Chains A and B, each alone.
Chain A
Amino acid sequence: EVQLQQSGAELVKPGASVKLSCTASGFNIKDTYMHWVKQRPEQGLEWIGRIDPANGNTKYDPKFQGKATITADTSSNTAYLQLSSLTSEDTAVYYCARGTYFDVWGAGTTVTVSS
């Protein structure tokens, strides 16, 4: 079965960093793009960026440049999202998704930034 398994919820302090994971099963991430999407409480979906795991090339929405870093480990079939210098604005659910138009999604990881 094709699916994306995301890491568990995180409670982090302001100013800290966090790294989320998204492990694929049923397909090889090298064969597709892997994306990350943000949803703040009671807000809509925002595209953060994507990685081509075959060569490591990344693209980001300008809004997330400097905030988000997307990486991938093809040996473990896992994509990662690192968020730095966290503030309350980063409190959100973060989803990973596959492909050109997101045909498979993870269930989301909740990140709460609080002291």
Chain B
Amino acid sequence: DIQMTQSPSSLSASLGGKVTITCKASQDINKYIAWYQHKPGKGPRLLIHYTSTLQPGIPSRFSGSGSGRDYSFSISNLEPEDIATYYCLQYDNLLTFGSGTKLEIK
């Protein structure tokens, strides 16, 4: 089974700032990683798939990059509505979520 190590588990940043979350896979996942935003009481929302492909309607201040085992996800120009928990998901071999990152705004 592929393990996904996501960090940090939580972070706090200022409005207008930038944050970066990383996910490290236990083996090469061939860029098959997606990123989700999850707010309480709702289903998660797909932001990015295949490492860096933005879903339609998702602002360009969300971005992803990486290859092999190492991947990152960034949000720039932080807005109040970005408060949420963010997850990575590898879908190269079955599916495995990262443990999540809770984002708070200072």
Contacts and interface: CB of A to CB of B under 8 A. Distances in A.
A106 B42 CA distance: 8
A49 to B, nearest CB: 9
Given A44-B87, A45-B100, A102-B89, A108 B43 contact: yes
Contacts of B43: 4, 95, 97, 105-108
Contacts of B49: 101, 103
Contacts, number: 58
Chain B residues touching A, range: 20 to 34
Interface in A62-108: 62, 95, 97, 100-108
A108 B42 CA distance: 7
**Interface range, A side:** 20 to 34
A71 B97 CA distance: 23
B38 to A, nearest CB: 7
Interface of B is mostly: loop
A62 B2 CA distance: 12
Contacts of A106: 43
Nearest to A98: B46
Contact of A102 (B1, B34, B50, B94): B34
B23 to A, nearest CB: 12
Nearest to B99: A44
Contacts of A102: 34, 36, 44, 46, 89
21 contacts: A4-B43, A37-B97, A44-B97, A45-B87, A46-B97, A47-B89, A50-B95, A61-B1, A61-B95, A95-B44, A97-B44, A100-B91, A101-B32, A101-B34, A101-B49, A102-B36, A102-B44, A103-B55, A107-B41, A107-B42, A107-B43
